[in-house]
Amino acid sequence: MYRPLFHLSSFLQHVLRVACDADAAVMICEPPHTFDELPQQARHCVRAGAQGGDGRIAGSLRPRVAGHLAVLPIAILATSLYVQAAPAYAEGQCLAGETTYFSCKTSQGNVISLCGNVPSALQYRYGRLPHVELAYPLHPANGTKKLLFAHYSRYQVSRSEVTFGHAGNDYAVFDYLAHGQRHAGLHLTLPDGSEHEVHCTGPISGRLNALRGSLHCDPDSALNGGSCP
């Protein structure tokens, strides 16, 4: 989703590398790990390039290095503007100003979130921050039409799911509470019928039950008894 970050980082490295002899080129610019690091890292590249980095490439800079380094201030400005435009997150994949109806991190570091402001917007998002591998529906304004709800309860037991189908797969974000123990995550059914579950680890934000009454009932969910009122 934010691929330009890596393009710009690679560009900064390339500018300095091409200014060195092929057999003396040394990586003196480490790739940034966060948006905030990018402009600072770019400035470090300028200083390192002008001073010969750590000394191993001192004297190997050709006269053409001046031409290459001349474009670095432009890259620094571009990265600064890009960082300023980066979105502010509230919780998980949800942005500032959105309601977090559900959000948790998996053991693999991915984040499962349901974000928006019903009834006007709702969207499922999955991926490792700051990337979104899957956002459904594409337009959050269609969320209350595309996402379905299922619920079951009995004494000391409450189970809620938000479900949808995409690219032949069936998704169910689940949030179960039984005898004081909370269990949540994502259940995925593939076109061949195989099933997989991704479990939340650590804190879980929001409650799926807050979407009850805002989403249409899922008639195919076992939680709804296979029918809707």
The residues, ordered by sequence, that sit 6+ positions from 104 with a Cβ below 8 Å of its Cβ are 92, 111, 112, 184, 185, 200, 201, 202, 203, 204, 205
- Do 8 and 75 contact (CB within 8 A), yes or no? yes
Give a yes or no: residue 126 inside a domain.
yes
List the one residue out of 68, 90, 73 whose CA is nearest residue 16: 68
Instruction: Tell whether 219 and 111 lie within a shared domain.
Output: yes
Number of folded domains that form the chain = 2
Give a yes or no: residue 131 inside a domain.
yes
Instruction: Tell whether 121 and 206 lie within a shared domain.
Output: yes
AA identity, residue 210: A
Instruction: Tell whether 120 and 220 lie within a shared domain.
Output: yes
Give a yes or no: residue 94 inside a domain.
no
Reported as a pLDDT band with limits 50, 70 and 90, residue 87 is low
Reported as a pLDDT band with limits 50, 70 and 90, residue 178 is very high
pLDDT of res. 67:
52
Reported as a pLDDT band with limits 50, 70 and 90, residue 226 is confident
Instruction: Tell whether 49 and 105 lie within a shared domain.
Output: no
What span, in angstroms and rounded, lies between the C-alpha atoms of 172 and 100?
A: 17
Reported as a pLDDT band with limits 50, 70 and 90, residue 46 is very low
Instruction: Tell whether 193 and 122 lie within a shared domain.
Output: yes
Surface-to-core class of residue 67, CB atoms within 10 Å of its CB (0-12 exposed, 13-18 middle, 19+ buried)? exposed
Q: Domain boundary residue among 56, 85, 114?
A: 85
- With a pLDDT cut of 70, the percent of the chain lying above it is 61
Task: Give pTM, 2 decimals.
Answer: 0.63
Q: Domain boundary residue among 85, 114, 146?
A: 85
Work out the average pLDDT over 133-149: 97
3-state DSSP call for residue 127? strand
pLDDT of res. 227:
80
- The parent domain of residue 203 ranges over 99-224
pLDDT at residue 155 tops 50:
yes
What span, in angstroms and rounded, lies between the C-alpha atoms of 169 and 164?
A: 9
Reported as a pLDDT band with limits 50, 70 and 90, residue 13 is very low
Instruction: Tell whether 116 and 197 lie within a shared domain.
Output: yes
Give a yes or no: residue 90 inside a domain.
no
Work out the average pLDDT over 198-205: 94
Angle subtended by helix axes 72-85 and 37-51, to nearest 10? 170
pLDDT of res. 62:
44
Instruction: Tell whether 60 and 111 lie within a shared domain.
Output: no
3-state DSSP call for residue 203? strand
Instruction: Tell whether 157 and 75 lie within a shared domain.
Output: no
The CATH number given to whatever domain includes residue 105 is 2.40.128
Reported as a pLDDT band with limits 50, 70 and 90, residue 91 is confident
pLDDT of res. 228:
86
